[in-house]
Structure 1
Amino acid sequence: MNQIVITSEAADAGQRLDAFLGARAEGISRSRAKTLIEEGAVTVGGAVETNPRAPVKKGLVYAVNMPPPVPAMPEAEAIPLEILFEDAHLVILNKAAGMAVHPAPGSQTGTLVNALLHHCQGQLSGIGGVERPGIVHRLDKLTSGVMVAAKTESAHTGLAALFERHDIDRVYRAVTRGAPRPLSGTIEAAIARSESDRKKMSVHRNPDSPAARHAVTHYKAVETFGYKDRATRLPAAALLECRLETGRTHQIRVHMAHSGAPLIGDPVYGRQAGIMAWKAPGSEARYDKALAAARAFSRQALHAAVLGFVHPITGETLRYEAPLPEDMTGLIAALRKLPVD
């Protein structure tokens, strides 16, 4: 059993015990400290203290007895992972579309957590006292791309702080039906759970509502494809680069649908009827191929392309990029054949 020992100073006096340990004990969050105190794992001057609100006194020795991590409930599974970076604290990987991040009712196996439990076997020091990888952000099951997970509690706490401060560089690529207007800009629209369908998110009419979460997406069109019609010259589809200032559930999918340019293939926020494109004389075969590719795309066309941040333990600047997966490159190749003249 590991023990963390801290001697309180004059500046610490009067603080709540859980807040004091959360600030002074390396790698322990305040909530984790509260749990440890309540479990009897903390002593003050050699005596067990179980009250998280107990005031800290100057010059006393506070000891935290860290229990060994208990086995995680999900089972470890030997699922291949594309690892981009790994050290003793973190693992950065390229998640495949179709892989859920967490086990859920009806889907207890085949998830990223199951795969990481196998990949990191013997390397996990315990997140919240449980032998599991620390997931501080997630990608939807049908979204591909770069993710990071923590192996240690201190790395998990540091990553969580980075995401809380939005001190993370996150770049996504998305293919949309139509294109937002203008072709580059910022969407600032609060997001809340839909009142009509609790499984969906939506832009909230009242951004000051307690249910609404502030959400900001910066975007620009990297490439446009075809036209909706010859007169308006509005794109039939677009490849966007999106940068998240905030990280709300389904943020890019909701913001793009709200802008009138839903992601191709999105089963929740965009019709799967494909695209509306002008068919020039003699372009029938190219038109049909592009339309078929859009209609057949079986997931939201969204990929987390870049993840960059300062390593919470070593201070090293990390930035990793995952190329577009084959299904998205195939979709883009078909859309490029749409007539533009």
Structure 2
Amino acid sequence: MPKKPFSSTKPKTSLPDRKYQVGEEAELLSFLITHLNQGRNSIKSLLARGQVFVGERAETKYNYMLKPGQLVSIRKERLTETVPLAGLVILHEDDDIIVVNKDSGLLSIASDKETDLTAYRQLTAHVRVNDPKSRIFVVHRLDRDTSGVMMFAKSEAAQQKLQTNWQEIVKERSYVALVEGTVKKTEGTIKSWLKETSTLRMYSSERPNDGQLAVTHYKLLQAGRQFSLLEVHLETGRKNQIRVHMQDIGHPVVGDKKYGSKAKPIPRLGLHARVLSFEHPSSGKLMRFDTGIPKLFYSPFKGEK
């Protein structure tokens, strides 16, 4: 009996794609959560595996902005056997470090509530493609809803050097913040001592030297009638520092309900880690990464004269 010809992994009759028409502007992840009867992590896995298409293009970004009239489809087959990164882009990689641009909505590392599809977990899988024993190490973090540039180490030695000498090695660390209200001062410095409540909320203590010293510098980039865009430089790197300090001066970060925001002109937190400049832990070479200002941060100013 003649042998049957070799068949590909793709079935002859593939299962039909699920298709959804976009009615109004929305972030891709929010749209999928609304239309699919699946959990958040399950949907993130679909994105990571390249099974979500906008038109004819596979899209893995959680915060991809959908426009009315577009067609979103869920493919039954994976786009590739190699799982792409979802919610982050590698800006630089060498033997010691990985520098990435993280999307808003992606956890840096696992929390008690979510253990899947963090930046840390995805990058661990990435480095193990060529060497199953490879590891990555956390150097610093970004809040889940803060986007922008961050760095991981690829060895424990690099991690220790970066963390131990962070203040000396890091030459520039700046953010852009879209905040509520019209900021009057063109620049300023906010200094306080930060403490944490039992519910994990940070706040500025009224007593000097009571807590961790936090210093934030800001410059006004653009001011409107309802919102302002600031360039923010950290002198210290405390948990939720920018978010607390913006609330302290009466201009909370937009979308930051936890720290006093009442407005949500954009469908995400208005905080982005724009620049990270540092001396390489091995070569000492000065490296600088500028991820720019998200276009979405300018949208609240449209129409204003």
Classify the TM-score, shorter chain: 0.5 to 0.7
Partner of residue 310 from structure 1, selected from 279, 291, 302: 279
Q: CA deviation at 1:133?
A: 1.4
Is 1:336 the counterpart of 2:294 in the alignment? no
Which residue number in structure 2 is paired with residue 320 of structure 1?
Answer: 289
2:135 to 108, 132, 135: 132
Contact 2:227 2:300 in 1 (8 A): no
Q: Does residue 256 of structure 1 match 2:246?
A: yes
**Counterpart in 2 of 1:189?**
192
1:96 to 98, 103, 106: 103
Q: Does 1:116 align with 2:123?
A: yes
| Residue deviations 1:264-321 (CA, integer Å, cap 9, x gap) | 11121123335xxxxxxxxxxxxxxxxxxx1xx3332000000000001111110001
2:34: which partner in 1?
A: none
Whole-angstrom CA distance in 1 between matches of 2:288 and 2:300: 30
**How big is each residue's C-alpha offset from its partner over 1:88-132, in whole Å with a ceiling of 9 and x where there is no partner?**
110101001100011122311010111111111167898xxxx63
> Once the two structures are superposed, what CA deviation does each residue of 1:149-185 show, in whole Å capped at 9, x if it has no partner?
0001121111112325474410100011014452301
- Which runs of 5 or more structure 1 residues have no equivalent in the other structure? 1-75, 227-235, 275-293
Match of 1:224 in 2: 223
Alignment check: 8 A CA contact 2:185 2:220 kept: no
- Give the whole-Å Cα distance in 2 for the aligned partners of 1:265 and 1:217: 20
| RMSD (CA atoms) | 2.3
Deviation at 1:222, TM superposition (A): 0.7
Please, which of 51, 74, 85 is the counterpart of residue 79 of structure 1? 85
TM-score, with length taken from structure 1: 0.61
Which of structures 1 and 2 has the bigger CA Rg? 1
CA distance in 2 between partners of 1:268 and 1:321 (Å): 28
Moved over 3 A (4+): 122-126, 164-168
Query: Which deviates more from structure 2 when the two are superposed, residues 167-176 or residues 311-320?
Result: 167-176
In the alignment of these two chains, the number of paired residues is 223
Percent identity (aligned): 34
Code of the aligned partner of 1:89:
D
The question of whether the paired residues in 2 share the 8 Å contact of 1:77 and 1:110 is answered with no
Q: Which residue of 2 aligns with 1:242?
A: 232
Residues 1:317 and 1:164: Cα distance change in structure 2 (over 3 Å): closer
TM-score by length of 2: 0.68
Mapped pair 1:208 → 2:209: yes
Whether 1:269 and 2:259 are equivalent positions in the alignment is yes
Q: Could you tell me which runs of 5 or more consecutive residues in structure 2 were left unpaired when the two chains were aligned.
A: 1-81
Q: Is the 8 A contact 1:207 1:213 kept in 2?
A: no
